[in-house]
Structure 1
Amino acid sequence: MTDTSAHPYEEISIDQQLALRTAATRLAEEFAGVYAAETIERFLHSSYDQFATASTIPHYLPLLAERFARQRLQALARVEGHHRDGRPVVLFLCTHNAGRSQMALGFFTYLAGDRAVAWSGGSEPGITLIPAAIAAMAERGIDISEEFPKPWTDEVVRAADVVVTMGCGDACPVFPGTRYENWDLDDPAGLDTAAVRPIRDEVERRVRRLLDDLHVHATR
């Protein structure tokens, strides 16, 4: 994790400074009694830095940073034993976190409801999701348009009970004691919606099988 404890607010626009401070306040309230303000600020700023160099939509950077920091803090809380609810955690990883892993996350969340937790990440995160993947999932009544490509971090991988890899090869992280599965799926990048549908359907089949393995009853 990048150490950004000295992250200078003055290098960010006034609007983004305000948005980040508001995000820090929200996160501090959510994690009150678990993590100190300094830890939350560090995670928020390092999450901001993850997107600042690649994002083409600066206005949304504080929101992306807040969402990613929240996920990382939730993961760290699980790793450190601050939060145990018995729900299995699955992490879906691919190269750009723009197609396969996002479709898997969409199906898993849709089918598992609140009985399991799922996250996703990429070894070389893209900027936006693949439009054909969004369209193909919408045909199944699942909206993934609000998701965003993001990297994985150590705490997120360590918090997972199962890590599903899809094409990230040697770049995928390996931690002892974690269950790994590799799903050999075509990359939807550059394909139209019709060509993505078979990939989408195979992703759904594998997600349903994974839920069965985890003894999580699919809601649909």
Structure 2
Amino acid sequence: MSFEEFTVEGYKELIRKAMRGRVFEPFGTTEEQAHVLWRHDVDMSVHRAARLAEVEAGFNVRATYFIQFTSEFYNVFENTIRQKIDEILSHGHWIGLHFDFSMVKPDDTREVVFEKMEFEKSILEKLFGTKVKCMSFHNPEMNNALSYDDDEICGMVNTYGRSIKEKYVYGSDSNGLWRHTPIGELADNTDNKYLHLLTHPVWWQEEPMAPRSKIDRSAKGRYDFAMNNYDQLLLNMGRPNIR
């Protein structure tokens, strides 16, 4: 299982392959021409997501970025994170809700689950002034999420809905390795008229790195940012910084 091709240059090559004979569309499209639904589940790094959004804009293609409220790697309410998501939107991309089903209690009814999704959807829309028209589940195989296969939930297209599963050929970069058919091979195959491709921005760095090293980089980057903010705050207020 090689990870060397998981770089920004490798990512650009995937876009080139997907573009051949296809257009990039949002979830919920009625386009009959060959197309790709390119989806980013932003589990860990909004900074890497903003970088890929910039790359995609250079190819004049658009993708959908699914934002999570329960990530341990970023807080959607932080100024810096909000600014990065605004950057993503400024390139013409779309955002969706990345719903963490592990937050659902065992005795929650479907109605309660939908209320929780609707709540998170409304916050995203208010924070970023845009309609949230689609949703994806976080780690759907680890809980009961895949039983929610309605085509639409709370007014959002469900990326795990029955119709999408039936119509589209699916590929993913889960865990920063090609565990199944690589996305490049799927895109190279012109018989795959409709593609649903999932990428996770944290895996696509400037230089080759082992998957765990990429997670380590994101975690340490968040730590350094928080500590630098603390040091700068004390400096600005003229207070001692006891170490």
Write 1 or 2 for the structure with the bigger share of helix. Answer: 1
Same fold, judged at TM 0.5 (above): no
The TM-score range, normalised by the shorter chain, is under 0.3
**Higher relative contact order at CA 8 Å, sep ≥6: structure 1 or structure 2?**
2
TM-score (norm 1): 0.27
